Amino acid sequence: MRDKQSRIFAAAASLFAEKGFAGVTTQQISERADVAAGTLFRYATSKGELLMMVYNQQFRSALSAGDRESRSRRDPVDAVQAVVRPILEAADSNVENTVNYQRELLFGSASEKYRSEGLDLVARFEETIARRLVEAARNRGLDERRAEDQARHAGRSIFAILHLILARAFTGAHPDDDPEADLHAQIDQIVTGFFAALDDDRPARSGPEPGASSPQRKKEA
C-alpha cells in the first residue's frame, strides 16, 4: 500500500511540475504510477486533492526551513521574513500550481484529507510567526499574555498578505511591484503595529497621588 502511495505521489509531483495543474489528468497520473484509476482514487478523490498531497509536502518543507532560519534572527521583522521567504521561493517555482493549491485550500471540500492537512500547515505557519513575535516581546519586557493575543492576530494577517501576494503573480495585479519587497514592507508594518499595541497597553506613569503636597512657588520679595 505504501509503495502504491509513493508511486502516485511521485507521478503526480513530476507531472504537475512538467505540465502544470491544468495540463495534467488523473488518467496520466495513474498511468505513470502504474496503478488503476480506481486505485488512484482510493488515495485521492480528485486532481485537486492530488495537487494538495504534493504541495502540502512542499509547504511543510519550506515551513520547516523557515522556522529553523528564523530562530537565529534577533530582529522580529527579519525573523518573520525568514519564516516566509522559503514559502515564497517555493511558490515562485510554479505559479500556476501554487495558485491552484491556494484555491483548493480555501474552497476545497471540508471532508478531504489533504485539505485538512493543508489547513493544519496554515495554522502551524501562523503559530510559528506568533511564537517569534512573543519571543521578541518577552525580550523587550512586554506583557507576554497580551503579546500572545496580539501575535495570533498578526500571524493570521501575515498569512493573508502572503496569500494575496502569491496570487498576484497569476492575476497580474501590481505587475511593477517586487513581491518580496512588498511583502517585507507589509510585514514591517504589521510587526510595528504589534509592538505599538503592546506599548499602548502599558500602564501610564501616574502623577502625584491625591493629597500629596506639590512644590510651592517661591513668594516674590
Q: How far is the C-alpha of 16 from the C-alpha of 29, rounded, in Å?
A: 9
Contact 32, 14 (CB under 8 A): yes
Q: Give the global pTM.
A: 0.85
For the beta carbon of residue 56, count every other beta carbon within 10 angstroms: 21
Q: How far is the C-alpha of 203 from the C-alpha of 200, rounded, in Å?
A: 8
Residue 179: per-residue pLDDT: 78
Per-residue pLDDT of the chain (221 residues; tens, 9 = 90+): 679 999 999 999 999 999 999 999 999 999 999 999 999 999 999 999 999 999 999 999 999 999 999 999 999 999 999 999 999 999 988 989 999 999 999 998 888 999 999 999 999 999 999 999 999 999 999 999 999 999 999 999 999 999 988 887 666 666 777 878 899 999 999 999 999 999 876 654 444 444 444 444 444 44
Residue 173: per-residue pLDDT: 64
Residue 209: per-residue pLDDT: 44
- Which domains, ranges and CATH numbers included, belong to the chain? 1-43 (1.10.10.60), 47-199 (1.10.357.10)
Closest CA to 129 of 148, 93, 110, 154: 154
Residue 203: per-residue pLDDT: 56
Identify each DSSP E strand in 93-169 by its residue range. none
Number of Cα atoms under 13 Å in the Cβ half of residue 124: 16
What 32-36 contacts at long range (C-beta under 8 Å, 24+ apart), as own/partner pairs, is 33/4, 33/7, 33/8, 34/7, 35/4, 35/7, 35/8
